[in-house]
Chains A and B, each alone.
Chain A
Amino acid sequence: MAKKETLPRQPMPEQPPEERIKNFKEVPLGYTPELAMKEASRCLQCKNPSCVKGCPVGVDIPGFIRLIREGEFAKAIRKIWEKNSLPAICGRVCPQENQCEGSCVLGKKGKPVAIGNLERFAADWEREHGTGELPPKAAPTGKKVAVVGSGPSGLTVAGDLILKGHEVTVYEAFHKGGGVLVYGIPEFRLPKDIVASELNYLERLGVKFEYNIVIGRTITVDELFKMGYDAIFIGVGAGLPRFLGIPGENLVGVYSANEYLTRSNLMKAYLFPEYDTPIAKGKNVVVIGAGNVAMDSARTALRMGAENVTIVYRRSREEMPARLAEIHHAEEEGIKFMLLTNPLRFIGDAHGRLRGMECIKMELGEPDESGRRRPIPVEGSNFEIECDLAIISVGAGANPLLAKNTPGLKLNKWGYIMVDPKTNKTYKKGVWAGGDIVTGQATVIKAAGAGRIASNSIHDYLTLGW
């Protein structure tokens, strides 16, 4: 036991900052089999593993780590697949520090097992060297399920229910599948061929994907029932960008993070003019907000050739909602942080283009309803900063498009779909919902976890009744 504790956590090799800011390639390079086996050997194989309880989809973590330790990589990925259809994605973007790794007993005294890195390793190994052999599927039930939205919650539902023998069709409004995984998360954090490969895995299992269909516009939820679906899962994401509501917000050069990232990620504007979609190249870029999406926006702007990229955040470092790893990567790459600063207005030139931003300094007062100390403006501390590109990344709200056209759903006061949290059933018979359209903006794995709750309930419904 003592010997295992002395072996340090194996870091994953990364592209050095000065190199990676010039490309969009993935930053962490992945474990070699040797590194993976070494890291796997650190796992204590607890009888009553707390890491599994920390995982929203309940992956048998000691189980797959043991298989990696033994060099049984093909078996390791199949162990993960029993509970998680998206391991290459979750291994990369889950906030493991708050979940599995946060619960690892090794973390009490030293550093937890790098569960995320190992999950990623198993998935990457399968993609690069695996047999492609699929997990076993239950006999066909003859039941049909429609999944609305191809983000992490929808893909989880699709993956779970196809294995249980149901027919599954995923409807996606965009021309490409993956939802936030393709439009939101940049290539350097989650390569798009990995998302494509996870989608391909689901297709090989028999999941059908229908693109360019906006449920609520092209086809309504009620029409899906008429088309013969027995159950419908709604996982359309939050999808309504929040703006600041300050003067000058519509100047040319002011973007929502959703727009900036969709242009860059989904439409590949970073490859303009090889790809047709344009994007503004800023010299002095400000990103307003300090969540993961803000870090993604800032690091994208840097790779697009910006000279200065500054995160402007109204609270202090401790309240920044981004993952520590993301903040660390951003700092390594030279992103500046202007904390306790709030924008007051955007300033334009004669042509309606952004040239600056007026800000005010903030100080922290008493905690607010979120439990974080409320930022209060410091009177008279106004100042201007020069910028030609501003990316507003202060979260997203509920996109009303689907709900407005779906009678029978109940929404809360923010417009999110109300569900029974035990089953993720909505108030409309035969309809479930999960992910950001229920909880508000959260994480990939929380959405996947919501999908898991719904898929269990859908399976019960299809086999036992509502």
Chain B
Amino acid sequence: MFEILRREELAGGTIILNEISAPFIAKKAKPGQFVILRATENGERIPLTMAETDPEKGTITIIYQVVGKSTALFKTLKVGDRYLDVVGPLGKPTEIEKVDGHVVCVGGGTGVAVLHPITRALKEIGNHVVAVIGARTKDMIILEDKMKEASHELFVCTDDGSYGHHGFVTDVLKDLIEKRDVRLVVTIGPVPMMKVACEITRPHKIKTIVSLNPIMVDGTGMCGCCRVNVGGETKFACVDGPEFDGHLVDFDELSARLKSYVEQEKIAYEKFKCECHA
């Protein structure tokens, strides 16, 4: 089990796609749910929201950005290698609803990978879906073709203007809200991006769903590490989420909690790089 059947390098090798054999999980998983993976006996448990599942083939697909030791270690796994542990599907699935106006799906970075199956499901149920994806620069844009297929219209943005719209995805969102009858926004990506998106939709009272990625350990509601403040109440992202009403989320607290281990993360990554060179 947990053999890597397909591996692709995206965005110049900074983002990796793994299709993994996990029949039990593939059979159950729905858009929005996540798995927790571990590569080695000494390894951390890393939560990643699934980008794709194939129940017939018995596979799940994850897409992750290399940001530290654990993801750098995952990157070294080749086709035919196995993850030591994959557990899931965890978290609540996305509630796919039909709304009266347009739906805008806003994704940044690897958030696009998580957004893709949700976008597709929202289209399949009969919504008019506008997708907006972005990245720092042209080479970092992922899943453009898939997002085009999953939506009715696609806007692509780059921070540096090297491709598509010059600017942030949230600029396009603002524009769309002014021109269209937007009734639902789903936004997944870096915390600052989601926060800005929520501030844009808030005055218009447009329902805005975000998918959060706090630090986790068990993923079954047992440790409380992933707690987030949602509307003044403490929620566990692993069992109550990972998706929440973005207008209620305390993003500043989430950002602070995501930085809990910056020092240790640096130490672990440096050690890993040294070991790889040696």
Contacts and interface: CB of A to CB of B under 8 A. Distances in A.
A174 B89 CA distance: 13
Interface string B217-247: 1101111110111000010000100000000
Interface stretch (B80-88, B105-113, B127-135, B159-167): B80-88
Contact of A276 (B42, B84, B228, B256): B42
Contacts of A174: 218
Interface of B: 24-25, 28, 38, 42-45, 69-70, 84-90, 217-218, 220-225, 227-229, 234, 239, 252-253, 256-257, 259-261, 264-265, 267-268, 271
A399 interface: yes
12 contacts: A173-B87, A212-B86, A217-B89, A239-B222, A241-B224, A252-B259, A259-B224, A263-B217, A267-B44, A278-B264, A351-B256, A400-B221
Interface residues of A, number: 40
Chain A contact residues: over half helix, strand or loop, or mixed? loop
A272 B70 CA distance: 13
Nearest to B258: A252
A243 B224 contact: yes
B222 A258 contact: yes
A353 B253 CA distance: 10
Nearest to A240: B221
B44 A276 contact: yes
Contacts of B89: 217-218
A256 B86 contact: no
A21 B90 CA distance: 38
Given A212-B86, A256-B224, A262 B217 contact: yes
Contacts of A195: none
Given A239-B220, A258-B222, A259-B225, A352 B87 contact: no
A219 B24 contact: yes
B24 A175 contact: no
B257 to A, nearest CB: 6
Contact of B44 (A239, A252, A277): A277
Interface string A240-283: 11010000011110011011001100011000111111101000
A255 B44 CA distance: 18
A273 B87 contact: no
Given A213-B87, A214-B90, A262 B224 contact: no
A274 B267 CA distance: 11
Closest 6 CB pairs of A and B: A352-B256, A278-B264, A259-B223, A276-B44, A175-B85, A212-B87
Which of B42, B89, B90 gathers most chain A CB within 10 Å? B42
A278 B265 contact: yes
B87 A214 contact: yes
Contacts of A400: 221
Contact of A280 (B85, B256, B260): B260
B84 A175 contact: yes
A401 B268 contact: no
B28 A250 contact: no
A213 B222 contact: no
A276 B69 contact: yes
Given A243-B234, A252-B260, A276-B69, A258 B44 contact: no
Chain B contact residues: over half helix, strand or loop, or mixed? mixed
Contacts of B38: 175
Contacts of B239: 401
A222 to B, nearest CB: 13
A277 B265 CA distance: 9
Interface string A214-230: 10011100000000000
Interface in A364-417: 399-401
Given A280-B261, A352-B256, 20 more contacts: A175-B87, A212-B85, A212-B87, A213-B87, A217-B89, A218-B25, A239-B221, A252-B256, A252-B259, A252-B260, A256-B223, A256-B224, A258-B222, A258-B223, A272-B264, A272-B268, A273-B271, A276-B69, A399-B222, A401-B239
A201 interface: no
A273 B268 contact: yes
Contacts of B222: 239-241, 258, 262, 399
Contacts of A249: 234
Given A175-B85, A212-B85, A273-B271, A399 B220 contact: yes
Given A241-B223, A262-B223, A267 B45 contact: yes
A276 B220 contact: no
A272 B225 CA distance: 18
A352 B257 contact: yes
A278 B90 CA distance: 22
B225 to A, nearest CB: 5
B266 to A, nearest CB: 10
A259 B24 CA distance: 27
Contacts of A239: 220-222
Contacts of A173: 87, 218, 220
Contact of A250 (B43, B223, B227, B261): B227
A211 interface: yes
A231 to B, nearest CB: 21
B24 A218 contact: yes
Given A252-B256, A276-B70, A214 B224 contact: no
Contacts of A213: 24, 87
B257 A217 contact: no
A120 to B, nearest CB: 28
B253 A218 contact: no
B11 to A, nearest CB: 24
B268 A278 contact: yes
Nearest to A277: B44
A259 B264 contact: no
B50 to A, nearest CB: 13
B248 to A, nearest CB: 14
Given A175-B38, A212-B85, A212-B86, A352 B221 contact: no
A365 B229 CA distance: 35
Nearest to A281: B264
